[in-house]
């Protein structure tokens, strides 16, 4: 049984720093964001990145699909949990959600919603994998965000193609818990 906080308990700033470079890592540490999605790293650098962010009181989620040198399997998840020690993981692979939950990590299932078929398949995926939250890309689809919040009780995080404060506010008004943004200019909006 998982004893961790839920994603809704830890999200204070509704803008989440999506970090894909060391430059952005430093900017995220100095930002208002309290949650970071780490979209980079390898077996050697990942533990330091996570530690640096957590030292600055950020909750860190490692996107497993972007980590080099660590297998996307049960052993890889165990390594992440015991040696890297993030708060949680993000993945597009539903089979990794169960392994991560077994390691007491908060889990986020990432979905790419390009058409109605992808939405239906995504709903089936989250029903079977039972993540703690769902990240939906692209994040510029308020109609779909509203539909998903009506279908599932899981917190919805949106990301991808978000370029300004108005788009963030639209996503939040549609029911998203937060927005993951790769642009450091959006990390200090006071949202």
Domain ranges of the chain: 7-186
Task: Give the pLDDT confidence score for residue 2 in this predicted structure.
Answer: 43
For the four alpha carbons of 57, 135, 101 and 10, in that order, the dihedral sign comes to positive
Task: Give the pLDDT confidence score for residue 103 in this predicted structure.
Answer: 97
Task: Give the pLDDT confidence score for residue 3 in this predicted structure.
Answer: 52
Q: Give the CATH architecture of domain 7-186.
A: Alpha-Beta Barrel (3.20)
Task: Give the pLDDT confidence score for residue 5 in this predicted structure.
Answer: 80
Task: Give the pLDDT confidence score for residue 140 in this predicted structure.
Answer: 86
Task: Give the pLDDT confidence score for residue 1 in this predicted structure.
Answer: 37
**Which residues, given as ranges, of the chain have pLDDT below 70?**
1-4
**DSSP assigned state of 186:** G
Q: How far is CA 89 from CA 96, 101, 110, 175, in A?
A: 9, 10, 10, 22
């Amino acid at each position: 049984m998982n004893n961790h906080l839920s994603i809704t308990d830890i999200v204070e700033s509704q803008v989440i720093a999506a970090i894909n470079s060391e430059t952005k890592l430093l900017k995220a540490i100095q930002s208002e964001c309290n949650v970071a999605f780490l979209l980079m790293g390898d077996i050697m650098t990942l533990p330091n990145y996570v530690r640096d962010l957590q030292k600055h009181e950020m909750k860190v989620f490692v996107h497993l699909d972007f980590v080099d040198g660590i297998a996307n399997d049960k052993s890889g998840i165990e390594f992440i949990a015991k040696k890297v020690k993030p708060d949680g993981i993000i993945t597009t692979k539903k089979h990794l959600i169960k392994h991560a939950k077994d390691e007491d990590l908060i889990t986020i299932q990432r979905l790419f919603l390009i058409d109605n078929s992808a939405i239906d398949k995504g709903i089936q995926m989250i029903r079977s994998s039972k993540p703690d939250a769902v990240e939906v890309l692209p994040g510029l689809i308020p109609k779909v965000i509203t539909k998903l919040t009506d279908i599932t009780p899981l917190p919805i995080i949106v990301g991808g193609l978000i370029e300004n404060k108005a788009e963030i506010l639209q996503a939040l008004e549609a029911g998203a818990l937060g927005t993951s943004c790769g642009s450091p200019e959006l990390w200090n909006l006071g949202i």
